[in-house]
Amino acid sequence: MSSIKNTDLTYLNHYFMGYFPTLLKERFPSDLTKHPLKDEILATVLANAVINRMGPCFLPEICQIKNVSIIDALQAYFQIIEMFGFEEIWREVESLGAEIDVDDQYQLFHEVMNIVERLTHTLLNHKEFIHNYKKREAIGHEVLNMLLILYKIELKSKGDLISSHHLSSKFGSLKFFPVILELVCQSYNGHAERRDHLSEITETFFKIREELNFSLFSELESIINTKHEWQLATKLGLYNELIQAEADLAWHIYKEGGYEIWKAKHSLALERHREIIQLVQSAINRTVKPDLGLLTHVVRHIQSLGHSVSKPASENNDFLFQNRTEASIGEKPVLN
């Protein structure tokens, strides 16, 4: 409770006000904000909100895995909910009612829970944004812009489960939310030189995701079973590293001049990448066991792609932006 009292949670005041009947809120709004038990009520409401959506173990597990305080985990969670509009998504899933089977509806809820958990972990990798109002507002604005771009990109949807096309496009985009957040956070940590670079880097990411088959790595991560707590913690940690590595690689390729230029310089790295893809495909087909060791190998490989030696070496390690030649996101050249 002392953490709540010493933390600025004014951006969550609507949760506190939601505790009271509408009549009280309309007649005595200023009096309610001075309620002597405001901190206690807010703590109760927030705890209930988290448990109702994510279960009772969510916050304790995050605190243990990320080695953060309960208040940091709580803030990260609610900032993710606000930033990505998950309350609206949850309400839309709830409103489906009899339109879909109960099992399918539960599957959708479970998918949202998984993404919220991963986004919370991603934001906790950048704790400076959690505690800085101006930075938090800035990345929230950029995330919104990136989501608008994301929704316009043709993505696979779950139209067989959801009758609403709008909700279907949202669920098709969910898996990209963590890397969008990572790209935005990295841009405010010195990667971007201009604001418009962020939309360009997003296009670069989707280009290399298609060309380098990043979707297979996500599929590999999803089929790895974890029976013990340490395995779950390791898997979540590796997932975070994978997201960071993919974002780092996107920035690296963008600064080198785009995918086509990077591809021409790194033929040896791409040959190694083909071998990794074959290994991952074998694991997905269950001819090789999909385990945490293989996922670790994949993460280290993606990290190495961002540091692979080009041929010939560039004379300018900063890769001047004005000399960048952008590759088209719409075409898919063959690796050779």
What's the pTM value of the predicted model, to 2 decimals?
Answer: 0.81
Identify the pLDDT of residue 169. 58
Q: Which single residue is written with the structure tokens 């694991």?
A: 283
Residues 6+ apart with CB under 8 A from 293: none
Rounded CA separation 279/298 (Å): 10
**Is the peptide bond preceding residue 312 cis, with omega within 30 degrees of 0?**
yes
Q: Which helix (H) or strand (E) element contains residue 302?
A: helix 292-305
Rounded CA separation 81/76 (Å): 9
Percent of the chain with pLDDT over 70: 82
Identify the pLDDT of residue 168. 59
Rounded CA separation 46/29 (Å): 20
Nearest to 300 by CA among 272, 328, 258: 272
Identify the pLDDT of residue 189. 74
Identify the pLDDT of residue 43. 92
Q: Where are the domains of the chain?
A: 192-336
Q: Which residues of the chain have pLDDT under 70?
A: 1-3, 151-170, 190-196, 308-336
Rounded CA separation 322/174 (Å): 33
Identify the pLDDT of residue 299. 96
